[in-house]
Each structure stands twice: as C-alpha cells, then as structure tokens.
Amino acid sequence: MTAAPEIAPAKLNLALHVRGRLPDGRHAIETLFAFCTDGDLLSAENGRSGLLVEGPFAQDLDPDDPEDNPKPNLILLAVRRLQKVAGVSRQTGFTLQKNIPVASGLGGGSADAAAALRLCTSVWGIDPRYAQEVAPGLGSDVPACLLSLSARGDGAGDRLTYVELPELSGTPVLLINPRVPLSTAAVFSGWDGVDRGPLGDWREGRNDLEPAAIALVPQVEAVLAWLGLQRGVTFSRMSGSGATCFALFEDAAARDEAANAVPREWWRLATELR
C-alpha cells in the first residue's frame, strides 16, 4: 500500500506557562498548542530503508542513524518503535523535505516523527492505536503533533485536552526565525524557577521561556519588537523554547505585506492556522 506524502505541520505555542518540576525531573508546563497548514513534508517508499533529507534545512540534519545512536533521528526512531509494537518487519524508506529550521521552537523533529507514525500507519495498514502508544515515548510534543489539532497540554505538555478554537482556523500567521538554533534544554535550564500562575485565556497568558531564550539569543527580542510594529498584527509571541516568533494578522494582505518586509537575514514563513 502507498500513501500520499504527509505534511508535518509547524507547531505553535500560543501560550506556555512553566509551573515547576514533575517527579521525573521534567518541567511542568501548561500550554496551548496550535498548528499551521505548512511545515516539513515526509514521503515513504516501500522496498528500501533509511532516510533521505532534502530542502533548505537539509544540511542541519544527519540522516545516518545507527540503532545505537545516543541522539537518534526521531523519524527513524519512531519507525523502529512502531515496527516493534505492531510486529511489522517491512522495509520502508523515507524522504524528508526539511522546510522548517532545526531547533526553532516549532516542534520540527516531533512533527516529523508524528508524520512518520501517521504515514507508516497508512502504508502498513495497521491500527492507529499503535502510533498513539509509541508517540509519548518519543518526546513531549509528539502526542500533540500526532493529530496536529489545537489542544491544551499539561504535565510535560503531553497530557492533552483537545479544544475548539474555530475563531482561529484560517487566521493568517507569519513565522520569523533569526536563523539561530536554540537548545530546548538550555532554554529550560535558564528558566528563573518562578511560578507566575496558571494558564487561563491564552491571549492574556505568557511564554515563560522568553527571557531565557532572549538571554541566549538576543535577536529574539528584536524579532518580537519588529513583529509588534507591523500593520494588522493582532497578537505576537515566541513559540516554544524559541527562537521562532509568530504574529497573527487581521488579514492575509497585511501578513503578506509584513512577510515581504522581513529583513533578509531572517527566515520567514507566511502561512495560516489549521
């Protein structure tokens, strides 16, 4: 069986509150996930194995992934684990069109892994519950990325409550990254440890990781300031652990006007929310 290529939608955190630590040492967060219509693109081909990476950010990923790799490629790790739980031995190779910057706060690796789970579920003709079983062990964002629907995330962000945000569907959004990768672990390590309260209305919320991200990559502050000055912006914030920031716009014309004015040294993506 063959399947159409899977989009790995870029993930946004409309708000991200860090509340403390979980018993396993991970940070306890409250966040609201939203997803864009664009992202990386993953295709599968039976009869071969491995991963080919193409696209503007291909050079930032190493597709060579032996099974003993201490930092495995999440696509291939997802496939191996899905094969194990589903009892599938079929060889399937993958091609990733890497359109989203690496280590950018957009859930790129998690979204790619989730796309691999969806793609294999279709290609192999297996029960989707196997993918749901595998997803949590791949990373805190992977369960949210598996369905790529708006959801509140609690715990480490992996305890999901799906929410309806019909007013946001189709909203024009502009993503900007200063082309500086940011380590999620380093940003969380820089959190000041202050619990500033629970997440309610996401528009009144925060991204508690912004100060730590700005301390590591000062350009984040410049991107946020630039977005705040653009015509038609209704909301702007940093996503995840950065360094990507985003803005929601009144209409596509205002978004495109801003996209055309983005400084050329910054990466940009004009898209919309799912």
CA distance 116 to 8: 9
Find tokens 């992977």 and name the residue: 142
Alpha-carbon torsion, ordered 175, 8, 153, 177, to 10 deg: -20
CA distance 177 to 243: 6
Catalogue the active-site residues: 11, 141
CA-to-CA dists, residue 32 to 1, 211, 272, angstroms: 35, 19, 17
User: 96 Cβ partners below 8 Å, 6+ apart?
Assistant: 40, 41, 42, 51, 52, 53, 54, 55, 58, 61, 63, 75, 112
Three state DSSP letters for 110-168: HHHHHHHHHHHHHHHCCCHHHHHHHHHHHCCCHHHHHHCCCEEEECCCCEEEECCCCCC
Rg, C-alpha atoms of the chain: 18
Contact 23, 11 (CB under 8 A): no
Residue 150, both tokens: 């708006």
Contact 236, 245 (CB under 8 A): yes
Q: What type of residue sits at position 175?
A: L
